Each structure stands twice: as C-alpha cells, then as structure tokens.
Amino acid sequence: MATAADTIKIGFVTTLTTGAGAIGKDMRESVDLAVEHLGGKMAGKDIEVIYEDDAFKPEIGKQKTDKLVKKDNVDFVAGYIWSHVLMASYKSAVDNDTFLISSNAGPSALAGKLCNENFFSTSWQNDQTTMAMGEVLNQRGIKNLYIMAPNYAAGKNMVSGVERTFKGKIIGKDMTKFPGQLDFSAELAKVRAAKPDALFVFYPGKHGAQFLTQYAQSDLAATVPLYTTFTVDSISLPRIGKMAEGSLMTLFWSPDLDNPTNKQFVADFRKKYGHYPSHYGAQSYDSIMLINSAVEKVKGDLSDHDAVRAALKEADFKSIRGDFKFGNNHFPIQNFYLREVVKDENGDYTTRIVSTVYENHQDPYASECNMK
C-alpha cells in the first residue's frame, strides 16, 4: 500500500464501456460527487481517483487491478460491479496488502470462507436482497413461483437467496446464458405454460431493460405478477418507466430514504447530472466516504495498516442508508426495503419505499468467516 506524502490515491475499477457502461458512468459520477463534497481532500491531502475500465471481463478486471496496485501504488482499490470480475481481481489487491472496497459485487465466497481482513463491502451480500424478496412473496401469499436469472456467480447467489426464504413451490427455473443471451422469448413461453402465481427475475443492466420490454410485450404482464431485484433501477427507468410502473423490488436503499446524507446526495446528484442516482451510485458514494472516515481517523498517515484497517471497520461516517455498521466479515448489517416504481411530483419515474422487510440483517455466510 502506498504512503504518498501529499495524495490519497484511490483506484476505481468499473465498467465504462460495453452495454453495461451506463452503470459504471453512474458510479463514476457518484464518486466525483463524493470527492466534490469532501472539497477534494482527505485529512488535508489531495484525493486522486484513477478510474479503470474492466470492459465487463474478469481477465481485464484483474489486469487493471494489478496495474493499480503494482504500478500506480494506490492506497485503496474500490468499485467492481460484477461478482465474476471481483472474484478474479480481489487477490491482486488483498494479497498485496492493499485495501479493497467492493462498491457493488457481493459474492458469497468473500462473505464466508474467503473473507479477508483487507476486503470490505459498502453494498450487500448477493443473497440478502433476494432473501428479502422471498419474505415479500410469502407475505403476499404466493404459492407457486417461476424464477429466471443469468447463469453466473451473482445470478446463482440471487436465486439461492430467494430459495432460502420462499416457503412456496418453485415450479420452474431458467438460468440463462450470460452475458450473451438477450432474447428471453423461449423462457417467457415456458412461464406462460407453467401458469405460476408470480415470476421472479434478476437481470442487471441492459439485460433488465431487454427483459422488461419483452415481458411487457407479452400477455404475461396481465396474468403473472412480476417481482424483481436489480432489474429496475434509476439508470433504466427513464427508458422503461411505463413498463415498470407499479412493479415491486427489494433493496437496501431508495432515493426517498429519509436521512440528511441521502437527501443531500440525491438532491446534489440530480442538480449536477439531471437525473436520479441509482443504488450503484449510492454505494459508490459510500465507498468514498468510508475511505475518508479511515483516512481522517489516522490523520492521513496510512503507513500503519492495522490502524487503517481498524478505522475502516469502525465505519464512522454518515451513510446514504443512515446508520452503518460492519459484521465480522466486513459486509454491512443493514435494513432491506420493499420498493415500488412510481412517478414523482414532476412526472419522473423513481422508486418509493413501501415497507421495511428486514431490520439490521446480516448475511447467512458471515458464520463461515473466521474473522471476529
């Protein structure tokens, strides 16, 4: 880890090209806003953020992480949208004693048996959001469920989450090719034939927009209620709002979450960029504020890694979600909410919180982590 005298160097790995580039753009904009809110400094030292594009590929993500750690000598590495990219990259940071803060991906292995003292998350463990959705489906009396998700690490975790808590019968499940498959007509035909009480899907980014378009064009929209996680977000809503209006999802955050930090973040983001931030952006904003809290606690001296690590674990900062605390595995313990797509007072599509599903929820893999 670097100990540059006058600069705090943060490497930020995300997807800035390909069809998923819109997510990386939202994350980058939120990081820039966080740096702006900090006046460009942490503990009196200039902040330098080095952005790297993983191009949606694990091997490139690893190469960029290696560059940041070994060539750029960054103090912290953050970002990472995709679980398969993070899994390919994380050892390049943590094994070189560089702190890695995941701003999105939350694979189960890193929450459990592969937890590491140098790894922290400002998002969630993949299973948690869909565990909350399973509870919502129970509350709503769903007996027969059909599931669709992409066949990669996060997709498998999302499905295991809903299967962990849903008490009804899963009458069909399709794990589709990722990222290559964007046509879901064959799977939707199978859903129609199965006649479930509800359909649950996880399709992030452009896959979500494509799925929702096909779902809305099918006759399923009138007969099979749709429940989602990470399929509808503030990035896609301007394009798919009418198709998604009234749809329900679970998440740890919403733009209308009532605390001072979130209100400032959302208001300043909208003023600066002209649209609502997504949860990807909110988590990225928190990543910078977490790093700042640690740098401030050690008064800018990053030479004592144990002190920096202890300061990160304390998480003494104002989060967009309100109170913030880590579990033993360095994943947040936090609330999860049921959200609904609605129009705001200006006619723009956004989400509002309907109810709290979980309070102070810890992921189910923390017990497999040997850290205290």
Q: What is the pLDDT of residues 259-298, one digit of tens each?
A: 999 999 999 999 999 999 999 999 999 999 999 999 999 9
The CATH number that domain 127-251+336-361 falls under is: 3.40.50.2300
Per-residue pLDDT, 96: 96
**CATH topology assigned to domain 7-124+257-332:** Rossmann fold (3.40.50)
CA distance 124 to 274: 27
Task: Label residue 5 by pLDDT band (50, 70, 90).
Answer: low
Query: For tokens 């989602």, what's the residue?
Result: 228
Q: What are the angstrom distances between the C-alpha of 55 and each of 107, 211, 232, 315?
A: 19, 22, 22, 31
- In this structure, of 129-138, 216-225, 276-285, 344-353, the range with the lowest mean pLDDT score is 216-225
Q: What is the mean predicted confidence (pLDDT) over 23-45?
A: 98
List, for residues 188-230, the tens digit of each pLDDT value: 999 999 999 999 999 998 899 999 999 989 989 889 999 999 9
Tokens 């390049």 locate to 92
- pLDDT above 60 (res 145): yes
Task: Report the C-alpha gap between 163 and 159 in whole angstroms.
Answer: 6
Q: What is the pLDDT of residue 2?
A: 45
**pLDDT value, residue 14:** 98
User: Are 183 and 217 contacting, i.e. CB atoms less than 8 angstroms apart?
Assistant: no
Residues 166-195: tens digit of each pLDDT: 999 999 999 999 999 999 999 999 999 999
Q: Place 4 in a pLDDT band, splitting at 50, 70 and 90.
A: very low
Mean residue pLDDT across the chain:
96
Flag whether pLDDT at 63 surpasses 60. yes
Helices (H), the chain: 21-37, 58-66, 83-94, 108-111, 126-139, 153-165, 185-194, 206-217, 237-244, 260-273, 279-297, 305-314
For 311-324, how does the pLDDT look when each residue is reduced to its tens digit (9 = 90+)? 999 999 999 999 99
pLDDT recorded at residue 346: 94
| Distance, C-alpha 161 to centroid of its chain | 15
Query: What is the pLDDT at residue 3?
Result: 46
Name the residue ranges covered by the structural domains of the chain. 7-124+257-332, 127-251+336-361
Same fold, 7-124+257-332 and 127-251+336-361: yes
Q: Which residue has the higher pLDDT, 5 or 61?
A: 61
Measured between alpha carbons, how far is 299 from 302 in angstroms, rounded to an integer?
8
234-258, pLDDT tens digit by residue?
Answer: 999 998 888 889 889 999 999 999 9
- The DSSP code sequence of 28-39 is HHHHHHHHHHTT
